[in-house]
């Protein structure tokens, strides 16, 4: 159920309500898109909505509750993101970034790169391409490189690619059409690659920044070159959400819709369905472990989403 508390939280010269779901983030994002609430209003487990929205959202089906009831029901749902949990997540990511240092960049400078990346991944409006996605991709790289499945340098390169691959992200981009296929422009990937190239210019081995930039560019189409193990690992890790549980996949799909909230519904459905069909037509995963772990579930999830997108 969608819940909203009274507009009593002051900020920016007005007062705000919190809009949440006690069922799933997918339900919350779907409601927000239909109501016209911008993605930048989302903050981890709720949307901040100005007082002028309060009655409008109730009329659209949000249930008015007290602030205490909202927090209790959000906590009971398991969707509550406390300040402590958010700090713990960021601290864990800082440790993981620090662990990638090869010593060729001074510690303070390396830490500064990591803080810049965390700030980018924490930007408002990143409903899918945020810290949760970063953490899931890093976890998937660890899984695909565990027990000596990849040399240390390949693992390091794939992890660096994960950190940089969506470092530049602009929600609300339009779909383009090339050769009859609906595609997302690759400017974010090119800009993220440029960021990686500049940030890693002084690391060892020589030209590591160029190698990581090439991995980031590859994530625009997820077509790694044959024999490029780091690219195959990063591609599989980035797409691992496709093979998640139906509930996690539904949250992901709703978050993607929210990031494209400015695209008209009919255009989004057609463009998204075309992209998904194109994915199904090729190899989704490129490592043996990735195929074994995610392929079957991913194909079911994608097929189900195409059905939803193309049905009336």
pLDDT at 180: 45
CATH code for the domain defined by 87-310? 1.10.1300.10
Domain regions of the chain by residue span: 2-77, 87-310
pLDDT tens track for 261-290: 988 999 999 999 999 999 999 899 999 999
The answer to whether 264 and 161 have CB atoms below 8 angstroms apart is no
User: What is the pLDDT at residue 187?
Assistant: 86
pLDDT for residue 156: 95
Q: What is the pLDDT of residue 105?
A: 83
**How far from 155 is each of 49, 76, 118, 140, 232, CA to CA, in Å?**
42, 38, 20, 11, 11
Chunk the chain into consecutive blocks of 10 residues (it has 312) and report each block's average pLDDT, rounded to whole numbers. Answer: 97 95 98 96 97 97 98 97 96 97 88 97 95 98 93 95 95 52 69 95 79 96 95 98 97 96 91 93 95 98 97 79
**Amino acid 184: pLDDT:** 53
Task: Give one DSSP letter per residue of 212-269, joined into a string.
Answer: HHHHHHHTTTT-PPTT-HHHHHHHHHHTGGGGS-HHHHHHHHHHHHHHTTTS-HHHHH
**pTM listed for this prediction:** 0.93
Q: What is the pLDDT of residue 178?
A: 44
Please say whether the beta carbons of 104 and 204 come within 8 A: yes
Q: Where does the chain have alpha helices with state H?
A: 25-35, 54-59, 67-77, 83-98, 107-121, 131-144, 152-164, 187-199, 208-218, 229-238, 246-259, 265-281, 288-310
């Amino acid at each position: 159920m969608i819940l909203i508390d009274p507009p009593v939280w002051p900020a920016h010269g007005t007062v705000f309500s919190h809009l949440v779901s006690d069922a799933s983030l997918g339900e919350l994002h779907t409601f927000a898109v239909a109501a016209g609430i911008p993605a930048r209003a989302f903050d981890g487990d709720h949307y901040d909505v100005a007082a002028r929205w309060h009655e409008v959202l109730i009329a659209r089906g949000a249930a008015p509750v007290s602030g205490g009831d909202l927090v209790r029901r959000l906590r009971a749902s398991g969707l509550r993101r406390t300040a402590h949990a958010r700090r713990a997540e960021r601290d864990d990511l800082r440790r993981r970034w620090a662990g990638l240092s090869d010593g060729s960049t001074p510690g303070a400078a390396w830490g500064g790169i990591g803080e810049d990346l965390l700030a980018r991944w924490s930007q408002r409006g990143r409903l899918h391409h945020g810290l949760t996605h970063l953490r899931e991709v890093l976890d998937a790289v660890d899984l695909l490189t565990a027990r000596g499945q990849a040399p240390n340098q390949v693992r390091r390169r794939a992890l660096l690619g994960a950190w940089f691959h969506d470092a530049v992200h602009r929600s609300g981009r339009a779909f383009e059409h090339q050769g009859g296929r609906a595609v997302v422009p690759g400017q974010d990937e090119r800009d993220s690659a440029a960021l990686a190239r500049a940030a890693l210019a002084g690391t060892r081995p020589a030209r590591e920044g160029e190698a990581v930039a090439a991995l980031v560019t590859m994530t625009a189409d997820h077509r790694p070159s044959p024999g490029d193990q780091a690219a195959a690992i990063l591609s599989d890790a980035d797409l691992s959400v496709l093979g998640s549980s139906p509930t996690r996949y539904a949250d992901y799909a709703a978050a993607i819709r929210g990031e494209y909230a400015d695209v008209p519904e009919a255009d989004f459905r057609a463009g998204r369905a075309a992209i998904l069909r194109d994915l199904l037509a090729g190899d989704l995963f490129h490592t043996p472990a990735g195929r074994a772990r995610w392929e079957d579930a991913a194909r079911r999830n994608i097929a189900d989403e195409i059905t939803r997108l193309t049905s009336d």
